[in-house]
Amino acid sequence: MWVVTLALATVLAGQPVAAKESSSNATVRRTLPPTLRLAQAEASPPKPRPQRKARKKPKPPAKPAVAQPAPAAPAKPAATPAPAVAKPAATKPAAAPAKPLSPRDTYAAMTNAERIAIQSDLMWTGYYDGLVDGDIGDRSIAAVRSYQKRSNAKDTGILNPQERAQLAALSKSQQDQVGWRLVTDSATGVRLGVPAKLVPQATRRKDSARWSSAAGDIRIETFRVSDPDTTLASVAAKQRTEADRKVDYDVQRPEFFVLSGDQGPKKFYLRAHGRGEEVRGVTIIYDPAKEELMRMIVVAISNSFVPFSGNSATATGNTARRKVEYSTGLIVSAAGDVLAGRDATDGCHVIRIGSLGPAERIADEARSGLALLRVRGAGRVHVAPLAAGAVSSGGALTLVGIADPREQDGGDAITTPAGRLAGDGVTIEPTPSAAFSGAAAIGQDNRFRGIVLVKPQTAAGPATAAGQARLVPAEVVVRFLRANRVTPTGSAVTVATLKPATVRVICVRP
């Protein structure tokens, strides 16, 4: 027991037991009483010498003991450095949130549609008068700061959700006051925005159109020049020398030119673009007393002006897609969510929902062919009642949609053509125009039957041409909406209840 106790004390002292083993035994023997020493000798008479020889060579066993753990020793340090290196790497990201994102980085993370919408809203509220193209630079950020200062908010240059919603609501209010709407002029083929409440009188000629106020103090005119040997430079030279015209702003580029100044007692602004031997443009003439209002309107018209996209198509695979495509949407939530067709909103540079304003596509589903759009700051809207439950098996349908503006002289009237389901229960006959893609379908029992989707035409053709139309059943529509956190309402559906929730969807492709 003394031997065990002494060995344990030696270990606790941090000394190897093997190095002290022989001297410890010798000490014990010297201290034992003679009777115990004799008893120990009798119990194991032949072993004293082998034990002494072993005690004389404690070092050989010690060397292997030291040598054997040596290979394992590096393995432990090799395993421990990995966490040691990982710890500093884990602490670096923790410091990143302390550095706020710059305004440019914040806007770069947004979709292009949202950036365009911000610029458009800043333009309509009078804070921005530049190009609405989604490129948020110093000029746009300065406009945001000005808006924040005017709102008594911190001028960070970055709009928080509340500021964004307030800006959108203010922009929409301004647009509503002037009756802003996008039109395609059938006389010239140009597309532009028009303040319909300011210029309610419209007339058209062969190569021009005019919108004017009742008092004649505001006039908007489109024009098209397509004579042989027509060039952009020759048209610009002629426009500079118009009677009573004094130009104080003159910008000439290879593809367009802009002029502005005085025309007699009035102000004027002119923008024109050329392609081949054809030039298309718009002239805005107004009384100086209207200058404060018209400054914003002129910028809005200039940014909305699309001279050649209205009558051209963009090929996508084997499908001819128009650069400006019209379809129908259905407002499905008070937050400004709009149900539309996926094909009709594919590849859009800008999406606009009728008079509600710019929108972005937040969800789509290839299987059903549906898409969900959102209008920021839509304000109070009428939500479509999409009744759930069993429907009749009858094939007669009533479609609720908006025809292409080129079919109704730039109008946006909601129409309700009749249709029917073919024998397969999916195909709709007769095929409606392409603009009815996204329209609602009602059965004879006043039940919501589903959404009409019109397959894009497979070759370029007139605006009214369309491919096959099919019905997306109501249960599929409801499932898609719920999957995207939109809860459909469940009241009875009629044409009268659907019309206020039916909107035009405008897709502008690059």
**105-177: which CATH number, 2.40.360, 2.30.110, 1.10.8, 1.10.101?**
1.10.101
Per-residue pLDDT band at 9 (split at 50, 70, 90) = very low
Are 308 and 280 contacting, i.e. CB atoms less than 8 angstroms apart? yes
Per-residue pLDDT band at 91 (split at 50, 70, 90) = low
Span 484-498, mean pLDDT? 85
Q: Is the pLDDT of residue 137 over 70?
A: yes
Per-residue pLDDT band at 126 (split at 50, 70, 90) = very high
Alpha helices in 250-365 (DSSP H): 291-304
Domain 316-508 bears CATH identifier 2.40.10.120: yes
Stretch among 13-17, 145-149, 186-190, 471-475 having the lowest mean pLDDT? 13-17
Domain boundaries, the chain: 1-43, 105-177, 179-311, 316-508
Q: Which helix (H) or strand (E) holds 318?
A: none
| Average predicted confidence (pLDDT) for the chain | 79
Any idea how long the chain is?
510
Domain 179-311 bears CATH identifier 3.40.1000.10: yes
Q: Note the pLDDT of residue 312.
A: 39
Span 69-88, mean pLDDT? 49
357: left (phi over 0), alpha (psi -120 to 50) or beta: left
Per-residue pLDDT band at 97 (split at 50, 70, 90) = low
Q: Is the pLDDT of residue 481 over 80?
A: yes
Q: Is the pLDDT of residue 206 over 90?
A: no
In percent, the amount of the chain with pLDDT more than 90 equals: 47
Q: Is the pLDDT of residue 67 over 60?
A: no
Rounded (10°) CA dihedral 397, 404, 380, 416: -20
Span 16-36, mean pLDDT? 40
In percent, the amount of the chain with pLDDT more than 70 equals: 74
Q: What does the block give as tokens for 429? A: 């006959």
Stretch among 5-14, 334-343, 447-456, 501-510 having the lowest mean pLDDT? 5-14
Task: Specify the higher pLDDT residue, 201 or 465.
Answer: 201
Q: Note the pLDDT of residue 64.
A: 46
Q: 3-state DSSP: the chain helix, strand, coil percent, rounded to 5?
A: 35, 30, 35
Q: How far apart are CA 368 and CA 44, in angstroms?
A: 95
Q: Is the pLDDT of residue 3 over 60?
A: no
Stretch among 48-52, 128-132, 293-297, 310-314 having the lowest mean pLDDT? 310-314
pLDDT in tens, 379-404: 889 999 886 555 555 688 999 999 98
Span 177-181, mean pLDDT? 93
Span 7-14, mean pLDDT? 42
Q: Note the pLDDT of residue 464.
A: 38
pTM for the full model? 0.48
Q: Note the pLDDT of residue 21.
A: 39
Q: Note the pLDDT of residue 493.
A: 83
Q: Which helix (H) or strand (E) holds 1?
A: none
CB atoms < 10 A from the CB of 9, how many? 12
Task: Specify the higher pLDDT residue, 308 or 250.
Answer: 250
Span 130-155, mean pLDDT? 92
Q: Is the pLDDT of residue 10 over 50?
A: no
Are 438 and 451 contacting, i.e. CB atoms less than 8 angstroms apart? yes
Stretch among 64-68, 197-201, 365-369, 478-482 having the lowest mean pLDDT? 64-68
Per-residue pLDDT band at 455 (split at 50, 70, 90) = confident
Q: Note the pLDDT of residue 58.
A: 52
Q: Note the pLDDT of residue 263.
A: 95
Q: What does the block give as tokens for 90? A: 């884990």
Are 434 and 440 contacting, i.e. CB atoms less than 8 angstroms apart? no
Are 245 and 252 contacting, i.e. CB atoms less than 8 angstroms apart? no
Per-residue pLDDT band at 457 (split at 50, 70, 90) = very low
pLDDT in tens, 318-351: 344 567 889 999 999 998 999 999 999 988 888 9
- What residues contact 483, with CB distance under 8 A and at least 6 apart? none
Q: How far apart are CA 439 and CA 450, in angstroms?
A: 9
State whether the Cα torsion 415-496-412-370 is positive or negative.
negative
Q: How far apart are CA 378 and CA 172, in angstroms?
A: 8
Q: How far apart are CA 408 and CA 412, in angstroms?
A: 7
Q: Is the pLDDT of residue 151 over 50?
A: yes
- Cα distances from 471 to residues 91, 321, 481, 497, in angstroms, run 55, 21, 16, 20
Q: How far apart are CA 300 and CA 195, in angstroms?
A: 10
